[in-house]
Amino acid sequence: MAGIGGAITPTYLMKLEANMRILTNQAYNTLLENLWWTKITNVIPSMSKEELFFWLIDTAQIEYDEEGNIEFEELAMQNARYEAEYAAKGLKVVKSAFEDLDGNGVRVATAWSTAIGKYAAYFPQKHIAKAIKANGKCYDGKNFFATDHPLDPLNVAVGTFSNLLTTGIKLDARHTIETAYDTLGTIVTHLSNVKMPNGEDPRNLQNGFFVAPPAMYPRLIQLLKSKFLSISGGSTDVSGVISDYGFEGVVMATELGAAYGGSDTDCYLAVKDITGDDLGGMCWIDREPFTVQYYSGQDGGGVSADLNRTREMEWHVEGRNVAGYGHPYKLYKLVGQAP
């Protein structure tokens, strides 16, 4: 029998690599179902190392004027530059681990394949979370979470909006459930006050879902899913109000908790813009999706020749990508206030 306890034949190697590919794909797909980054992030395929993205600013409006007198507008746009970064990891196993009867090469290779598949799926979430916590600059020159985003970056006199709510946010367990319920109304009011870039018309943002650290997850579930809440000393049916608010639910983001450099009393709200484009609050620039390359030392080429001489086998996983910021009016940070 080829393989364990004998020579590493091409047929055996092909079967091993095929099995590893299957394990990798299965692990990736399973973990992907439990990730939250895809709910707030648009994946943007890239064709070059550096991408320059342009966003059109919705300043168009119609105004009353004298007949025959038409005022012409210029198309406004803003841009952001993203450069994909190289990310990689590899596995090296000596051939004797596959040839010897007591070798554990198959076990090592398949375990690595499963683990790397999971991490390839998780990798974007890790860096989207890091970008959220870092609060870097977005396309209007402000920190992504800021109180003074210009409605129109090319005409700051029009006004500003805030996606950093620091007043009246009392959702966490330090506050009564009634106070937390009232906070939902505060959030709805704030979103309704966000205007279009012309400074006159409502943007008509729709409540989406909360992205919360584990410490806030139970409270938010209670708020959004309970039919009755203790309000004004009695049990009040709030299901109709909560339904009309339009919140879609809660996703738990462990990486945003205090244990990972975030906060246990702050959360985030992703919203929908029925008048805008499909870009979310965050974006993932995918220059080269993660792929696995196999080098056996038996298929020719410079790398394989070196491996054949050292009697080693290698597997490489490589990709080029970067996390970036999208529209600040699509994602809001809700900073929890002390009692």
The model carries a pTM of: 0.77
Enumerate the H helices of 80-104 as residue ranges.
Answer: 96-99
Cα–Cα dist 149/302, whole Å:
53
Q: Kindly state the tokens that stand for 15.
A: 């079967």
**In this structure, what are the phi and psi dihedrals at residue 243, rounded to the nearest 5 degrees?**
-65, -45
H or E stretch at 184: helix 177-192
Decide if pLDDT at 175 tops 60: yes
Q: Any idea how long the chain is? A: 339
* Per-residue model confidence as pLDDT tens digits over 96-111: 444 433 445 556 666 6
Cα–Cα dist 214/220, whole Å:
10
Confidence band of 31 (pLDDT split at 50, 70, 90): low
Instruction: Enumerate the domain spans of the chain.
Output: 10-59+76-132+289-324, 144-282+327-334
Decide if pLDDT at 230 tops 90: no
Alpha carbon 74 to its chain centroid, in Å, reads 33
- Ramachandran quadrant class, 252 (left: phi over 0; alpha: psi -120 to 50; beta: rest): beta
More confident position, 160 or 65: 160
Give, to the nearest 10 degrees, the angle between helix 217-225 and helix 177-192: 80
What does DSSP assign to residue 38? G
Decide if pLDDT at 74 tops 70: no
3-state secondary structure of 91: strand
Torsion angle in degrees (nearest 10) through CA of 181, 182, 186, 188:
50
Decide if pLDDT at 189 tops 50: yes
What does DSSP assign to residue 163? S
Query: What average pLDDT score do residues 8-20 get?
Result: 51
Q: Kindly state the tokens that stand for 303.
A: 């790398």
Using CA of residue 52, residue 57, residue 58, residue 60, what is the dihedral sign? Answer: negative
Residues 213, 254 contacting (CB under 8 angstroms): yes
Residues 153, 141 contacting (CB under 8 angstroms): yes
197, exposed or middle or buried, with CB in 10 Å at 0-12, 13-18, 19+? buried
Confidence band of 6 (pLDDT split at 50, 70, 90): very low
Cα–Cα dist 339/333, whole Å:
19
- 258-289 b/e (C-beta count within 10 Å ≥ 16 → b): eeeebbbbbbbbbbebeebeebbbbbbbbbee
